[in-house]
Amino acid sequence: MCGIAGYIGPKNAVDVVFDQLKRLEYRGYDSAGIAYLQGDHIEVTKRAGKLSELGKALFETPKIAQLAIAHSRWATHGGPTNENAHPHYDQFERVAIIHNGIIENYLELKQELVAKGHKFKSQTDTEVAAHVIGEEYANGVPLEEAARKASKRLRGAFSLVLMSHTEPDKIVCVRNASPLVLGLGNGENMLASDIPALLPYTREVFIMDENTIGVLTKDSVHVYDSDGRSIPIKPMHIEWDVASAERGGFEHFMLKEIYEQPQVMRQVTAGRVDDSGVVRLEGVFNENVWTEIDRVNIIACGTAYHAGLMGKHFFESTLRLPTDVYFSSEFRYGNPVLSPKSLAIFVSQSGETADTLAALRLCKERRIRTLGIVNVIGSSIARECDRTIFTQAGPEISVASTKAYTAQVMVFALLGLYIAQVQEVPGVRVEEWVSEIMRMDALAEECLTLETDIIKMAEEIKDMPLCFFLGRGADAFVAMEGALKLKEIAYIPTQEYPAGEMKHGPLALITDKVISIFGCTDSTVRDKVVSNMKEVQARAGKCLAITTSDDTLMEQAADWTIKIPKTKYDFLNALLAIVPLQLLSYHIARLNGCEIDQPRNLAKSVTVE
Ligand code: AGP
């Protein structure tokens, strides 16, 4: 996710926004730039590389301005070069724009604009957006109206900030999906993509809602909805210090990222489903490819591998599309049998995992079609796959992956529904699936309200010597991800199995000290899972069950029960169950005094074999 900053007021705006960018450096970037008002025009200075490069170029001579916007970029469309860095001008150089997120339909817009004679200097989707805004602005409307009309033509998950020398007293911002926070001052106002950039200047902030437009002058801030209706601004006073502000006020990045999951679910779907329930995945293969594919091979590591298992479950149970999942580290040395008509899908949060990258290169040597499901835009795996679907989860800082997993599984569901649309798979009611998927953010919010009860359970079981994670179907795959969380942040040994496997050996490990966590969200096999639970309890083992809200019997069967909201589909119920499992592992680790965000022996991205 990119860093965004903007200031209007009596201070030197160039110094303020440059400082704000420095406070957003923790988010990662590969180029940066600033646009600032200089009399009757806008100056833009931007450089690839670190802020020090921009600083050298910017401060060769003192720069004084009362209005500036600034951006640190994570390479999106186009590599980290000076030309691709933001800000970008419109075609008349009357508007400067910075952007966060992805504009899915930028290619078709660019073709339309080129056909009208537009010339582009960069490879970015941002410059296309700038030209679309320039077209609207040329109609003589106020800048905010041009932004409002233009953003209706853009599809994707994005936020825009823009300024113009023809209206030198205002900054305009649009929040479609990517976060935007306004900083309210006295005789000055500002904005940023994240709170830490604002705190040295103001502690009164306003977090913009999705699909709203902001207009900032030095003495006023107004926010409007997408129809131009004014929205009341209720400032929030921030007490955090800067360090905790980077964690959004949470004690650890992991908890912040667990709580970001509803927002991430909205970001994953933004621009990818339309009002009639049709899935639109720009940039994946064209339709005849999907009718040809006869098998899918999913290749990944760790959490991404567990997301791949969920992808397999969806593709095989819903599309009847044969799917295998491989550990990247095994795939390459296993001399895999690959059908020429198969598709290889590489799942990776970082996009830099060495084993997954090596497996990708093997598939390319074998001339197998490759698709990435990646979070970090511009990463090696994203660049080297034939096509990539970005999870749009934002920067995941904590080593233990949470929101990236949820986003990856959601992308698998969207991809599966897209294939169902193209292949016209009988019996798959895409619009019903989409309707349930669009409820997931609210259901995940509900799961987060279970935290108080989960803390109590964590206090009871935090000293267990061993923990089983068990389930059937998709619950078994979520169990594996839940187990990995407990292992990697609480350092507690786990055993994870399909519940029916217990009798074939693992049951021998059950004692009265061992806890078994059962995923029971699939009502079609719940009675079988309860039987497995009884086998454990008959040997003095204690059981924690995660089930759905309509289940009235589990409390009599399990020692502890967590109830999550129910959806129409077992796949989605199982996915929701990961939220309490993430919270449980987090609180067990916290209560045991573990270092959570940087667990021992682990790295966020394993770039070595
Ligand atoms: C998961 O919590 C771990 N951080 C680890 O298993 C991770 O999922 C794995 O290393 C794969 O990383 P990637 O998604 O960046 O490729």
Last residue of a domain, one of 203, 226, 243: 243
Tokens of 115: 């056909």
Look at residues 371, 406, 438 and tell me which one is the last residue of a structural domain.
438
- Look up the CATH number of the domain holding residue 284: 3.40.50.10490
Over the stretch 111-165, which tens digit does the pLDDT of each residue have? 999 999 999 999 999 999 999 999 999 999 999 999 999 999 999 888 999 999 9
**Average pLDDT of 175-196?**
92
Calculate how far, in angstroms, residue 484's C-alpha sits from the geometric centre of ligand 1. Answer: 10
Of 525, 412, 524, nearest in space to 470 by CA: 525
- Residue 156 belongs to domain with CATH number: 3.60.20.10
Mean model confidence pLDDT for the chain: 94
One domain, residues 270 and 158:
no
Strands 387-390 and 369-374, bridge-based pairing: parallel
- In the reported structure, the alpha carbon of residue 400 is separated from the centroid of ligand 1 by a whole-number distance in angstroms of 8
Q: Using one digit for the tens of pLDDT, what is the confidence trace for 578-595?
A: 999 999 999 999 999 999
Count of domains for the chain: 3
Query: Is 604 inside any structural domain?
Result: no
**Do 320 and 285 have their domain in common?**
yes
Q: CA–CA separation, 112 vs 64, rounded Å?
A: 38
Q: Are 470 and 581 within one domain?
A: yes
When mean pLDDT is compared across 139-153, 378-392, 423-437, 495-509, the lowest value belongs to 378-392
- Within this chain, do residues 149 and 210 fall inside the same structural domain, yes or no? yes
Q: Report whether pLDDT(340) > 90.
A: yes
Whole-prediction pTM = 0.81
* 453-502: pLDDT as tens digits: 999 999 999 999 999 999 999 999 999 999 999 999 999 999 999 999 99
Residue 603 lies in a domain: no
Q: Does residue 301 line the site of ligand 1, with CB under 6 A?
A: yes
- In the block, which residue shows the tokens 């926010």? 223
Kindly state whether residues 398 and 482 are assigned to the same domain. no
Residue from 238, 244, 202, 200 nearest 19 by CA: 200
464 lines ligand 1 (CB under 6 A): no
Tell me the C-alpha distance between 165 and 96, whole Å.
9
Percent helix / strand / coil, the chain, rounded to 5: 40, 20, 40
CA 607 – CA 598 distance, rounded (Å): 16
Six-digit token string for 404? 């990236």
Q: Would you place residue 1 in the very low, low, confident or very high pLDDT band (cuts 50, 70, 90)?
A: low
For the question of residue 456 being annotated catalytic, the response is no
Distance in Å, CA 97 to ligand 1 centroid? 34
Residues 298 and 229 in one domain: no
Q: Which protein residue's CA is at the shortest distance from atom 7 of ligand 1?
A: 302
CB proximity list for 111: less than 8 A, separation 6 or greater:
none
Nearest-angstrom CA–CA distance, 121 and 96: 14
Active-site residue, from 2, 385, 447, 467? 2
Quote the ligand 1 centre to 329 CA distance (angstroms). Answer: 13
Probe ligand 1: pick from 254, 349, 605, max atoms within 8 Å of CB?
349
The answer as to whether 590 is a domain residue is yes
Q: What is the pLDDT of residue 48?
A: 93
CA 297 to ligand 1 center in whole angstroms: 18
Does a structural domain hold residue 608? no
* Same domain? 143 vs 255: no
Q: Is the CB of 349 under 6 A from ligand 1?
A: yes
Q: Is pLDDT above 90 for 75?
A: no
In a domain? residue 605: no
Q: Is 353 in the pocket of ligand 1 (CB under 6 A)?
A: yes
| Range picked from 35-44, 232-241, 269-278 for highest mean pLDDT | 35-44
- Given 393, 414, 438, the domain boundary residue is 438
From 309, 345, 353, give the residue whose CB has the most ligand 1 atoms within 8 Å, as the site to mutate.
353
Q: Is the CB of 401 under 6 A from ligand 1?
A: yes
31 and 117 co-located in one domain: yes
Mean pLDDT confidence for 177-188: 92
pLDDT per residue as tens digits for the range 504-528: 999 999 999 999 999 999 999 999 9
Contact 376, 352 (CB under 8 A): yes
Q: Which secondary-structure segment (H or E) carries 242?
A: helix 242-246
How many CA atoms within 13 Å lie on the side-chain side of 560? 22
Q: What is the DSSP string of 136-167?
A: HHTTT--HHHHHHHHHHH--EEEEEEEEETTS
User: Looking at the structure, do residues 451 and 431 belong to the same domain, yes or no?
Assistant: no
User: 605 in ligand 1 pocket by Cβ < 6 Å?
Assistant: yes
404 φ, ψ (degrees, to nearest 5): -70, -40
Identify whether 606 is part of a domain: no
Across the chain, which distance is largest between two alpha carbons, in Å?
Answer: 81
Q: Is the minimum distance from the CB of 350 to ligand 1 under 6 angstroms? A: yes
* Catalytic (active site) residue 594: no
281 assigned to some structural domain:
yes
Dist CA 419 CA 424 (whole Å):
8
266 and 183 in a common domain: no
405 CA to centre of ligand 1 in angstroms: 9
DSSP codes joined into one string, 328-396:
HHHHGGG-----TTEEEEEEESSS--HHHHHHHHHHHHTT-EEEEEESSTT-HHHHHSSEEEE------
The residue contributing the CA closest to ligand 1 atom 5 is: 302
Distance CA 596, CA 31 (A): 30
- 307 C-alpha vs ligand 1 centroid, how far in Å? 11
- Render the burial of 378-404: b for 16+ CB within 10 Å, e for the rest: bbbbbebbbbbbbbbbbbbbbbbbbbb
Q: Which of 257, 346, 350 to mutate to test the pocket of ligand 1 (most atoms within 8 A of CB)?
A: 350
Give the pLDDT of residue 288: 85
14 and 46 part of one domain: yes
- State both tokens at 179: 């976060």
- Residue of 11, 50, 149, 604 marked active site: 604
> What CA–CA distance (Å, rounded) separates 325 from 66?
55
Using CA atoms, how far apart are residues 583 and 92, in angstroms rounded to an integer? 51
454: CB partners within 8 A, 6+ apart: 562, 580, 583, 584, 587
- Say yes or no: CB of residue 355 within 6 Å of ligand 1: no
- 413 and 290 within one domain: yes
Ligand 1 nearest-atom number relative to CA 488: 2
Pair 191, 6: CB distance under 8 Å:
yes
Percent of the chain with pLDDT over 90: 80
Q: Is the CB of 585 under 6 A from ligand 1?
A: no
Domain extent for 550: 444-596
